[in-house]
Structure 1
Amino acid sequence: MITSKRPKAIPVQLIARVDSRTLKFILHNIKDMGPLPPEVIAVVMESKKTFNTQISPAEQDLKLFKKYGKKTTMLMINSYIYLNKDEVVRES
């Protein structure tokens, strides 16, 4: 019997509504992010994270969660959304 180990879905809280495909795109792009300005970190930390969703990360994305931890990875995702809001967030 062949069983595949699928990673568990990780709950995330976001500052804006994004679909799952965009969220995976963001996860792939935050690996290449440079240092974040303190102003961006302050805005993201203080903003309400009203959009709850789940992501099933790929193996390479799980390495990111293991390397930085969940809170820092969520900060990086929300910072990416904040910095690229025009490109990432689509109003429905």
Structure 2
Amino acid sequence: MSQTRGAGTERRNGVQSVERALEIVTVIAGRGGNATLSELASATDLPAATVHRLLRTMISAGYLKQLQDRSYGLSLKFVPIGEAARGR
């Protein structure tokens, strides 16, 4: 998803906020299921404020959770999605 990074990079046809949210989810998954705000901002080349707004939206929708150590993690809401993707 690196084509969606940063303000000056070329974008694919699509909804920028959805691309960014999916990139955040991908980064969290790649880090073992949790990451801090600063790790996410650095990995996505997005401003921390933008990442925070996207995190809050995904928490509100139930896809992410904020952990005790203030990092962000994937929620169990992704389990049935993964199972459906595997054809279960």
- Tell me the TM-score normalised to structure 2 length: 0.28
Give the alignment's TM-score, normalised by structure 1.
0.27
Bigger radius of gyration among the two = 1
Q: Which has the higher contact order (CA 8 A, sep 6+)?
A: 1
